[in-house]
Amino acid sequence: MKLVFATNNLNKLAEVQKMLPKTIELLSLKDINCFEEIPETATTLEGNAKIKANHISENYQYNCFADDTGLEVNALNGNPGVYSARYAGEPVNIENNISKLLNELKTTDNRKAHFKTSICLNLNGSQFLFDGICKGEILHSKQGEKGFGYDPIFKPDGSKLSFAEMSSEEKNKISHRGLAITKLITFLSKLS
């Protein structure tokens, strides 16, 4: 089965490719010659995942899935949430995002947060939704060199390591994206 993963994030693409069974051929946006920026104008993660999946299905006629992920921090009323990638503004810069977040949490002891991933699968004319949540806390400074995004400052509950200190295999077992992708894979495996 061929499936397009509607992302330009090569880190996410590689992370997901490792999890999928060999029976699924994962195509990137580049593989289908989709080079336009797909707008993410929804106010929810699920809404943005739907926009991206629908864009590929309608304009390129491929079965596909898309995700949107956000870091929701309790002390910040769920922010940055849907705006996680552009939290410090344009252009997208994760170092600026991390600095802004750590600065906003300087005066609070409440560092509880969670990552949430929403996945929208468009398959043979039907739409399916999957999600994954990983609870944890925001560290006071960066720890680790692996991963991407907010991984160096997020420590999942029950772990002594940040996401950026884990191997991709360790992270995928417990991460928000890993949990959502596992639900997607379970669903797809029932079809074959």
CB 56 within 8 A of CB 63: no
- Whether the per-residue pLDDT at 192 is higher than 80: the answer is no
- Position 70 scores a pLDDT of 96
Confidence of residue 1 (pLDDT cuts 50, 70, 90): confident
Residues in the chain: 192
Q: Tell me the pLDDT tens digit for each residue of 132-183.
A: 999 999 999 999 999 889 999 999 999 999 999 999 889 989 999 999 999 9
| β-strands 112-123, 126-138 pairing | antiparallel
**Domain residue spans of the chain:** 2-191
Kindly state the average pLDDT of the residues 8-35: 86
Does the active-site annotation cover 151?
A: no
Q: Which fold has domain 2-191?
A: Maf protein (3.90.950)
Q: Label residue 144 exposed, middle or buried (CB < 10 Å: 0-12, 13-18, 19+).
A: middle
**Spatial separation of the C-alpha atoms in residues 142 and 155, rounded to whole Å:** 10
Select which of 67, 68, 131, 151 is catalytic: 68
pTM exceeds 0.95 for this model:
no
pLDDT at 47: 97
